[in-house]
Copies of this chain bind each other. A is one copy, B any other.
Amino acid sequence: MTHSFDDALTLTVAEAAEGRVRYAGVTPQAYQNMIGPFGGVSAALLAQGMMRSARDGLKLVSITTDFMTGMKDGPYSLSTICHRAGRSTEFWAANIQQADASSPALRATAVFGERRETVEWTEGEMPDAPPPEACEAFVPPRPWAEHIAIRPCINADIFNATSTRNALWVKFTDARPLDDVALVCLADTPTPRVFFIVHGFTVLSTISMTVYLHASDADLAEAGSDWVMIEANAGRGGGGFYDQHARIWSRSGKLLATTQQMVWYKAEKV
C-alpha cells in the first residue's frame, strides 16, 4: 500500500518533448484544505513534477510556488518547462491548469543543482523545547490534518501569545521517510502568524512560498520518518500582507530547510 502523500503526488506523463513535459493528475482528496488541496501538498506536487523532468543527478535547491487561485476537484495538467540548462544547474518552471479554468491555479519556479563538497556551516541552533512526546496535538479541522501531525512546542497558545515567534513538531501521521518533496510540503505547516496577533482565527491565504533545501542524503536518512521541528516568525504585517520566515530542523538538530512565505490577510485594524 502506498502512502497517502505519495498517492496525492501521483503523476502520469501525458506528453514529453526536449525540455518540456506535461503530466496528468487528479486533485488529491485526502489533503483537502479550505479551497482545494493544502498549500504544502500543492507545492510538493509542482516540486515533484519538476524533479521528474530535471536531469538525473541534479538536486532541488530552491522552489518558489505562487498560489494564484483554488484547484477544483477532478483532473488537471501539470506542465513543466526548462528555461535554462547549464553544466551543473537547471532552471525549471511549472504550472497546474484545469480544463475549464481561465488561468492556471498554481505556478512554480525551481532551481536544481549538482551537489559538490564545499566548506559547510550552519548558523544558530534548534531552539530548546519539550520533546514531541510531551506536547499536545493541534488538529486544524481540515482533511489534510489527519495526515500531518502537528504538536506546537514553543508559544503554543495563540489566544495568549505575546509574540508570533513559535515552534512546532510535525511529521506525517503514517510513517514516511523524509525527502525533498516532504520538506516542501511540511514547510507550509506553521500556524499562520496573524493568529498570534489577533489571538484567534481569521481569513488568510498564502500567495507565494519559497523553500531552500539544505538536507544532505545522510541528513534525510538520519531524520527518517521522525518528527522535525519548525520554528517560525513574521517580519512585518500591514496593508493586507505579511511575511513568515521559518527553519526546519531534524530531531537531532540538523538544519534541513529554510522557508519563507508572503500571506494575504484580511484582519482589520481594531
A residues bordering B, Cβ < 8 Å?
A: 59, 61-62, 64, 66, 68-69, 83-86, 89, 91, 93, 95, 103-104, 107, 109, 111, 113-124, 163-165, 194, 197-198, 207-208, 210, 212, 214, 216, 233-243, 245, 247, 255, 258, 260, 262, 264-270
Contact = CB atoms under 8 A, between A and B. Distances in A.
Nearest to A164: B123
A113 B264 contact: yes
Contacts of A268: 117-119
A260 B260 contact: yes
For the complex of A and B, list the 10 residue pairs with the smallest distance between their C-beta atoms, beginning with the closest: A120-B238, A115-B239, A68-B84, A84-B103, A235-B258, A116-B240, A214-B236, A236-B255, A64-B64, A62-B262
Given A208-B210, A216-B238, 18 more contacts: A61-B262, A64-B109, A64-B208, A66-B111, A68-B83, A69-B86, A85-B103, A89-B264, A93-B93, A113-B264, A114-B240, A118-B240, A119-B197, A120-B269, A214-B235, A214-B238, A235-B247, A235-B258
Contact of A117 (B85, B234, B243, B269): B269
Contact of A123 (B207, B212, B233): B233
User: Which of A68, A117, A163 neighbours the largest number of chain B CB atoms within 10 Å of its CB?
Assistant: A68
Nearest to A258: B235
A90 to B, nearest CB: 10
Given A62-B262, A262-B62, A109 B111 contact: no
Nearest to A59: B239
* Dominant secondary structure at the A interface: strand
Given A111-B207, A247-B235, A268-B117, A84 B64 contact: no
B210 A64 contact: yes
Given A83-B103, A210-B260, A266 B235 contact: no
Contacts of A124: 233
B216 A89 contact: no
A114 B95 CA distance: 24
User: Which of A91, A237, A265 neighbours the largest number of chain B CB atoms within 10 Å of its CB?
Assistant: A91
Contact of A122 (B104, B208, B212, B235): B235
Given A84-B103, A120-B269, A258-B245, A91 B68 contact: yes
B260 A212 contact: yes
Nearest to A86: B69
A89 to B, nearest CB: 7
A265 B121 contact: no
5 contacts: A68-B91, A85-B103, A113-B240, A115-B239, A115-B241
